[in-house]
Amino acid sequence: MGLILQLTAVLVGIHPASAFAVMAFIAAAGWAYSLPPVALSWRGLGEIDNALLGGMIMPVYGYLIVDPFISPVFLLACVPFVVLDFTNLMATTWPDRKADAAVGKFTLVTRRSVPQLRRLFRVLVVVGYTLVPLVGLLGVPLPVVVGSMLALPLSIWAVRTYTRQEDPTPAVWAMVVMLVGQLGGWFITAAFV
């Protein structure tokens, strides 16, 4: 349905053709996440697929609706969010690890030990928040950088609780706050340009 609506928007001149191409990619990658023959979520690759889709590809789609030329600065701003989205996915798949393993769904959390998962989670949080000021130095507007950093306390909470509780709330809220913070930062930037 989304592809049909998107194609219609392109044919009547509301959206650029590039938006349809990205929508088609989103549909294919979304299908590949859980359904055969690829079923990435069953092979320990679903988290990567999902983080890239939600953190980079869908924002690119939204950007293309407004401007057919993607800004490299916009792409840079998405990278820390992709990393944080990945930690969110690690946290949300954690409570399902036993059921997933029982049916042969080998997600990342069913393939790695608790110490490995905790280490990976910590490393990703450090990498994600280290990237925030770095992308700021490369041109991402200061309000977007500041908005991104608002999620740091929640990510610290997520690091402290990951695999120690079944509830993914800290990582989920960290992702949501970074998303809202970045959106707010872009709105502030647009208001003063």
Q: What is the pLDDT of residues 105-151, one digit of tens each?
A: 999 999 999 999 999 999 999 999 999 999 999 999 999 999 999 99
Both 15 and 84 in a single domain?
Answer: no
Both 118 and 60 in a single domain?
Answer: no
Q: Which residues constitute the domain of residue 86?
A: 76-193
Q: What is the pTM of this model?
A: 0.91
pLDDT bucket at 2, cuts 50 / 70 / 90: confident
Q: Domain total for the chain? A: 2
Report the SS3 class of residue 36. coil
Both 131 and 97 in a single domain?
Answer: yes
- Residue 165, beta-bridge partner list: 162
Domain end call among 16, 46, 70: 70
**For range 64-93, the mean pLDDT:** 93
pLDDT bucket at 164, cuts 50 / 70 / 90: very high
Domain end call among 25, 40, 70: 70
Both 12 and 40 in a single domain?
Answer: yes
Report the SS3 class of residue 113. coil
Packing angle between helix 142-149 and helix 169-191, nearest 10 degrees? 160
Cα 126 to Cα 122: distance, rounded to the nearest angstrom? 6
Both 63 and 83 in a single domain?
Answer: no
Identify whether the C-beta of residue 84 lies closer than 8 Å to the C-beta of residue 47: no
